[in-house]
Chains A and B, each alone.
Chain A
Amino acid sequence: MAVKVSLKVNGKSVSAEVEERTLLVTVIRENLRLTGTHVGCDTAQCGACTVSMNGKAVKSCSMLAMQAEGADVMTIEGVAKPDGTLHPMQAAFKEHHGLQCGFCTPGMVMNAIDYAKHHPDPTEEQIREALEGNLCRCTGYHNIVKAIGAGARAMAAGK
C-alpha cells in the first residue's frame, strides 16, 4: 500500500508516495533523484549510503523511509554552498586527494562532517576509529584520514 512520507531534505520540505517497505536511500535516490548518496553493500557494512539525519550520520540503506518522517536530512548535495563553494570537508578531500574512484566519498564526507562537529582536532587513530563504518576499496584510507583531519581543523577554524 502506498503511504506518504514527508521530511526535509537539504533544507527543502519534500514528500513522496512510497510503499511502506521503501528504504530511505530509495526515496533519496529514486524519488528525489539525489544520486550522490550511493548504495555499495546494501547490508549496513560499507557506509556509502551515509546521510545526516537530524545532525547525525546514519546509513540510509538500513532504515525505512517511514523512520525519517519529519526528520531533517542532509545529503552530499546539500553540503556545498549554493554558489558552489565546497564545504571545508569537501575541500580537504580534494586538497589531500582523499579519493580515487569516488564511490565511497559521499558517505565518507557525510560521516566526517558529523564526526568533526564533535572532534575539532582528531588524531589519526581517532579518525580511523570513526571510519569503522565506511569502507573504501581504492585508497587504502591514508589520504582519507589526512583529509578528515585537515577538514575537521578547517571546520573548527570556521574557514
Chain B
Amino acid sequence: MHAFKYHRPSSVNDAAALVKGEAKLLAGGQTLVQTMKLRLASPSDIIDLGTIKDLAGIKSDGKTLSIGAMTRHADVAHSAEVKKAIPALAALAAMIGDRQVRAMGTIGGSVANNDPAADYPAALLALNATITTNKGKHEADKFFKGMFTTALAADEIITGVSFQVPRRAAYTKFKNPASRFAIVGVFVADFGGSVRVAVTGAGAGVFRQADMEKALAAKFAPESVANIKVKQDGLNSDMHASAEYRAHLVTVMAKRAVEAALK
C-alpha cells in the first residue's frame, strides 16, 4: 500500500473540505483497503467517515425507510425497523459476503462503489430509492452508470439512502460460491399497480427488466415471468457463467423472487 495522509473529520462538512485531488473517502474499508493493498488505488489522503456519528442510523415513517451512509450491513440485516418495513432489504443485507465483512461494510460504500455484482444497487433500483449526498439528491434510476461508475461527483459524499416501502418485495441471488457476490441477483418490488424488477451481477451494471415489470404489474405471480426469455446480448460471460447461462438465471431468479414475495 502506498503511503497517504489520514484524516478523521467529525462532520460531513469537515469531510467535504478535505475531499479534493487524489483524496479518497474511507467507509468500512472492505473494498478500498484491499484495492489500496493491490495498488489499484493510491490516494494521497484518506478521509475516514467512521467517526461521523450522524452518518449511521435507520429511520422509517411507514412510507420511506432511510438508512445513513455509514450504517453497516450487519445493522441493516438485524434491524427490527428494516425487518418490519422492508424485510427483503434486511434479508439482502444478511446475504452480503460473510459476517466479518458485514460487521464493517456500509451501504454508502457499497452504493458508491457500484460493483456490477453487488447486492444493494439492485435494492436501490427496485425500491425507487433516493441517494442523498452533501450536494443534493439522486434518483436511483439515474445514479448507476455501469461498472464501478455512478452519478457522484468526485468530491461528493453520500449521506444516506431512502427507500420507498413497497407492498411486498423479495431478493434472490445466485451466489458465486467463492466470493458470495451475485452471479445473478434479482430484486422484485410490488408497489400495488406498479412493479419494479432490478437485476445485478448479470451485466456491466445493475439494470431494470421492463418486460418483467409489465407482466408482473398485470399479474403479480411467478408464471407471469416464467416464460420471459432474457436476451443474452451485453450480459457478462466469464469463467463462472456464460452470458447465455446468466440470461437464463435472470428468469429463474425473478420467478423465485416473486414466489418469495408472495409468501
User: Would you call B161 an interface residue if the criterion is a C-beta within 8 Å of the partner chain's C-beta atoms?
Assistant: no
Which 10 pairs show the lowest CB-CB distances between chains A and B? A133-B98, A132-B98, A20-B6, A56-B103, A133-B100, A21-B1, A59-B100, A63-B29, A57-B100, A58-B103
Query: Whole-angstrom distance from the CB of A75 to the nearest CB of chain B?
Result: 14
User: Would you call B151 an interface residue if the criterion is a C-beta within 8 Å of the partner chain's C-beta atoms?
Assistant: no
User: Would you call A37 an interface residue if the criterion is a C-beta within 8 Å of the partner chain's C-beta atoms?
Assistant: no
Query: Whole-angstrom distance from the CB of B98 to the nearest CB of chain A?
Result: 3
For the complex, what is the distance from the CA of A58 to the CA of B105, rounded to whole Å? 10
- Could you count the A-B residue pairs with CB atoms below 8 Å apart for me: how many are there? 76
User: Would you call B180 an interface residue if the criterion is a C-beta within 8 Å of the partner chain's C-beta atoms?
Assistant: yes
Query: Whole-angstrom distance from the CB of B56 to the nearest CB of chain A?
Result: 13
* B interface with A by C-beta (< 8 Å): 1-6, 8, 26, 28-30, 33-34, 36-37, 46, 48, 50, 74, 97-101, 103-104, 180
Sample 17 A-B pairs with CB under 8 A, ordered by A number: A20-B3, A20-B5, A21-B1, A21-B4, A56-B74, A58-B103, A58-B104, A59-B101, A62-B30, A63-B29, A64-B26, A64-B33, A111-B100, A114-B99, A130-B99, A133-B98, A133-B99
Residues of B within 8 A of A59 (CB): 100-101, 104
Residues of B within 8 A of A43 (CB): 34, 37
* Interface 0/1 of A1-25, CB less than 8 Å to B: 1010000000000000001110100
For the complex, what is the distance from the CA of A132 to the CA of B2, rounded to whole Å? 30
Query: Whole-angstrom distance from the CB of B49 to the nearest CB of chain A?
Result: 10
User: Would you call A69 an interface residue if the criterion is a C-beta within 8 Å of the partner chain's C-beta atoms?
Assistant: yes
Residue among A1, A59, A111 facing the most chain B CB atoms (10 A cut-off): A59
For the complex, what is the distance from the CA of A21 to the CA of B34, rounded to whole Å? 12
Residues of B within 8 A of A67 (CB): 26, 29, 48, 50
Question: What residue in chain B is nearest A43 (Cβ atoms)?
Answer: B34
Q: Knowing that A20-B5, A43-B37 touch, tell me 12 more A-B residue pairs with CB under 8 angstroms.
A: A19-B3, A20-B6, A20-B46, A44-B30, A44-B101, A50-B100, A57-B103, A63-B29, A66-B6, A67-B26, A67-B48, A132-B97
Q: Are A21 and B3 in contact (CB under 8 A)?
A: yes
Residue among B46, B99, B103 facing the most chain A CB atoms (10 A cut-off): B99
* A interface with B by C-beta (< 8 Å): 1, 3, 19-21, 23, 42-44, 47, 50, 53, 56-59, 62-64, 66-67, 69, 111, 114-115, 130, 132-134
Question: What residue in chain A is nearest B178 (Cβ atoms)?
Answer: A45
Q: Are B48 and A66 in contact (CB under 8 A)?
A: yes
Query: Whole-angstrom distance from the CB of A133 to the nearest CB of chain B?
Result: 3
Contact of B33 among A57, A63, A130, A132 (CB under 8 A): A63
For the complex, what is the distance from the CA of A69 to the CA of B26, rounded to whole Å? 14
Question: What residue in chain A is nearest B33 (Cβ atoms)?
Answer: A62
Query: Whole-angstrom distance from the CB of B42 to the nearest CB of chain A?
Result: 10
Query: Whole-angstrom distance from the CB of B211 to the nearest CB of chain A?
Result: 34
For the complex, what is the distance from the CA of A38 to the CA of B115, rounded to whole Å? 29
Question: What residue in chain B is nearest A21 (Cβ atoms)?
Answer: B1
For the complex, what is the distance from the CA of A47 to the CA of B100, rounded to whole Å? 8
Q: Are A63 and B6 in contact (CB under 8 A)?
A: no
Query: Quick one: given A47-B98, A132-B180, A133-B98, are A63 and B104 in contact (CB under 8 Å)?
Result: yes
Residues of A within 8 A of B46 (CB): 20, 64
Residues of B within 8 A of A69 (CB): 8
Residues of A within 8 A of B28 (CB): 63
Question: What residue in chain A is nearest B1 (Cβ atoms)?
Answer: A21
Query: Whole-angstrom distance from the CB of B191 to the nearest CB of chain A?
Result: 31
For the complex, what is the distance from the CA of A4 to the CA of B92, rounded to whole Å? 38
Question: What residue in chain B is nearest A52 (Cβ atoms)?
Answer: B103
For the complex, what is the distance from the CA of A43 to the CA of B102, rounded to whole Å? 15
For the complex, what is the distance from the CA of A56 to the CA of B104, rounded to whole Å? 9
Contact of A62 among B2, B48, B99, B104 (CB under 8 A): B104
